[in-house]
Amino acid sequence: MNLSIENILLGISILLLTSILISKSLGRFGIPALILFLAVGMLAGSEGIGNIHFDDPGAAQSMGTVALTIILFSGGLDTRWDTTKPILWRGVSLSTLGVFITAMLLGLFVWAITDFTLLEALLLGSIVSSTDAAAVFSILRSKNIGLKNNLRPTLELESGSNDPMAYFLTVSFTFLIMNEAESSLWDLVPMFFLQMSIGAVMGVIMGRFMAWVINRIMLEQEGLYPALSLGMLIFTYAFTSVISGNGFLAVYIAGVILGNRNFLHRGSINRFYDGLAWLMQILMFLTLGLLVFPSHMVPVIGLGLLISIFLMLVARPVSVFISLLFSNNTLPDKLYISWVGLRGAVPIVFATYPMLAGVQKSEMIFNIVFFIVLTSVILQGTTLTIVAQWLGLSKWNKQLKRLELGDEMGYDTKNALIELDLAKGSAAVGKSIVELQFPKTALIVLINREGKYITPNGATILQENDKLLVMIDNDNELDKVNLALGIT
């Protein structure tokens, strides 16, 4: 077949549609969508039924870098400062000290059981040392897992901010292996602080700059705002990297800063990045599925399984318990955080760095990393809900229908409309609105009663199965509203 642009686009569209349809069909059985995307890529690859020959680590690395940049920024946009602030140092400790300890422990274990040199073993440990933002965000949010004790924002903050540390360790150990005679580990210390400092400062600056530009540029077409933000996002990563900063850290912090400020067209921009992040996840997993040769993994299955078990049951838990040594987390909290050490596409992307650098055992490292990712997503990704229930950490977490008024209308306001269901047995059933201890900053603006819409007043009697459209000033009022309505 002629490799024309039409044929390439046809193949991409078929893979994309197949992945989405399969995830829709099999997702109901608890199989994470990301592993299905990866499987489709492997089936379409040179050793699968699709027979698509793809053996270009450079292209896969470039694709993964772009995808990770967008995924991290999207995750930052969804990070709420009011829920993150109480657990900030907990998340930072896990994403720095925790990643370092995981890399060292796993590296020493690999060095002890294989013929890898110490630097090669530490490189392997570094590649798989971080939890994957794409995997954690997609599984926690798609399954709508409710967790007690602020565990969900802790896990999301850790996964969104720990890739920069893993990236630094991966690139550093790759450099040391290729320049072992001229360099030492001590050379990495000033480089680490320089990269992280520049990345953090650039993230803060660009996050504020993005909000300022979006609110003042006054474009004629609303559809240009997502394109404008995307341009600034790409600039943030690229410019930060050019000036020797950590671009991944910069885009995540920029997303957090922007997401917690008021800016025009928030709703359309958030939806744009939500869809784009999912597209990037799918394309990244498909590309990496195409890149792997399943037959090359067969010789490393035993070794890969042993390393994966050590990572899940020893290295990750030890790093979590040390990182949270001075926190007030309970034993079940720490055990659950230890189990949510999901590895996804990012370690596979990082495994292409030693391949492109020409590290001697790079192909074996890549195959081991790929196997670790498969076991992590299959074993850990499918059991998050079950483990949370076993540890007594799960809670009711119904997804609320929410409309941000400022987002949709372009106003600088935190007001939102929330739809709440008044279930049978609620304490508010049979009471008039005036009898409820409703917070003064909240208001029931509409009632949907069996398909008929009622504009309420103080004398309106609430009935079971009423759907209430409630306007609130901020998220803190939602708990007070639930309390007044008897919703637990």
Tell me the domain boundaries of the chain.
5-390, 401-485
Residue 454: strand pairing partners: 447
In this chain, the answer to whether the domains covering 5-390 and 401-485 adopt an identical fold is no
Model pTM score: 0.78
pLDDT given at position 306: 95
**Looking up tokens 């690139």, which residue turns up?**
171
How far CA 469 is from CA of 220, 403, 450, in Å, comes to 32, 10, 14
Question: Using an 8 Å Cβ cutoff, are 153 and 87 in contact?
Answer: yes
Residues 401-485, CATH architecture: 2-Layer Sandwich (3.30)
pLDDT given at position 30: 52
pLDDT given at position 329: 86
Tell me whether strands 416-421 and 401-404 are parallel, antiparallel or unpaired.
antiparallel
Q: Which amino acid is present at 185?
A: L
Q: Which amino acid is present at 112?
A: A
Is CATH 3.40.710.10 the right assignment for the domain spanning 5-390?
no
Whole-number Å distance between alpha carbons of 348 and 359: 15
Residue 404: strand pairing partners: 416
pLDDT given at position 229: 94
SS (H, E, C) the chain: CCCCHHHHHHHHHHHHHHHHHHHHHHHHHCCCHHHHHHHHHHHHECCCCCCECCCCHHHHHHHHHHHHHHHHHHHHHCCCHHHHHHHHHHHHHHHHHHHHHHHHHHHHHHHHHCCCCHHHHHHHHHHCCCCCHHHHHHHHHHCCCCECCCHHHHHHHHHHHCHHHHHHHHHHHHHHHHCCCCCCHHHHHHHHHHHHHHHHHHHHHHHHHHHHHHHHCCCCCCCHHHHHHHHHHHHHHHHHHHCCCCHHHHHHHHHHHHHCCCCCCHHHHHHHHHHHHHHHHHHHHHHHHHHCCHHHHHHHHHHHHHHHHHHHHHHHHHHHHHHCCCCCCCHHHHHHHHHCCCCCHHHHHHCHHHHHHCCCCHHHHHHHHHHHHHHHHHHHCCCHHHHHHHCCCECCCCCCEEEEHHHHHCCCCCCEEEEEECCCCCCCCCCEHHHCCCCCCCEEEEEEECCEEECCCCCCECCCCCEEEEEECCCHHHHHHHHHHCCC
Instruction: List per-residue pLDDT tens for the chain, 488 residues long.
Output: 456 777 777 877 887 788 777 766 655 555 566 677 777 887 777 777 777 777 778 888 888 889 889 988 988 888 877 778 888 889 889 999 999 999 999 999 999 999 999 999 999 999 999 887 666 766 665 555 567 777 888 888 888 788 889 999 999 999 889 887 676 777 778 888 899 999 999 999 999 999 999 988 888 888 899 999 999 999 999 999 999 999 999 999 999 999 888 888 887 898 899 889 888 888 887 887 888 888 878 888 899 999 999 999 999 999 999 999 988 888 999 999 999 888 877 888 888 899 888 888 888 999 899 889 888 888 887 788 788 889 888 765 544 555 555 554 545 455 677 888 887 777 788 888 888 877 777 888 888 888 788 888 878 888 888 888 888 776 667 777 777 777 65
